[in-house]
Amino acid sequence: MRIDKLLAHSGLGTRKEVKKLLKASMIEINSEVIKDPKTQVDPDVDVILIAGEALDYQEFVYFMLNKPAGVISATEDDMHETVLDLLQPSDIVQEPHPVGRLDIDTEGLLLLTNDGALTHRLLSPKRHVDKTYFAEIEGLVSDKDITQFKEGVTLADDYVTMPAELTILSIDEETQTSKVEITIQEGKFHQVKRMFHAVGKDVLYLKRLSMGKLTLDPHLELGAYRECTKAEIAQLKA
């Protein structure tokens, strides 16, 4: 990797700003002052010093975000706030992207990373990665619904979903609403909402709780994010 690209990805500024650091003789590679921005460097092998301080470079970043409603799962948009708008500028330099999408009005767990290989593994239809949601439903969810979800639900476009696990948490007959958890292994457009609509019910509120073995940190407030721990990253890659 070119030294100017590596330094820019490390949050030390734009390519133009990084070139100023190089010209000022502030960058050393293996005890040699480097001024050429095209110099090739291997961060896993070479010792890189910035004004005498060792550079701790991370090739990949992994962030757990508790996505709020009203924010879209995209890297840029002209009309809506995106999940990247919730990140600090220093955390955007390595160009993370959302792994999958949550609807604009859906809250909860969203993984942001620049690890393309991991993204592919988590989103590949062949992997059947579990995604669990909490939902508030308009209507009384029944054992019949549990059976239908387990067998696969036929959506309005005649697509039959893969089997899903539906758990009833509570029923409120007075308000005619239900609270449930649902685990699916697909990510079709508005899938959870369409599945409930297919059985005559509507989703009032939806929040993703987990994706694979990654579970939303209960202490993470809406709109907040944090780096995934080494254990969480290992679980995602397992």
Under 8 Å between Cβ of 62 and 228: yes
Say which of 91, 103, 130, 217 is annotated catalytic. 103
Alpha-carbon distances, residue 94 vs 9, 46, 59, 113 (angstroms) = 5, 20, 8, 9
**Strands 202-211 vs 107-113: parallel, antiparallel or unpaired:** parallel
Is 46 among the residues known to form the active site?
Answer: no
Report helix angle 230-237 to 116-123, nearest 10. 60
CA-to-CA dists, residue 32 to 25, 56, 145, 160, 193, angstroms: 10, 18, 68, 62, 59
Residue type at 17 in one-letter notation: E
Helix (H, G, I), strand (E, B) or coil at 152: coil
Residues recognised as catalytic: 103
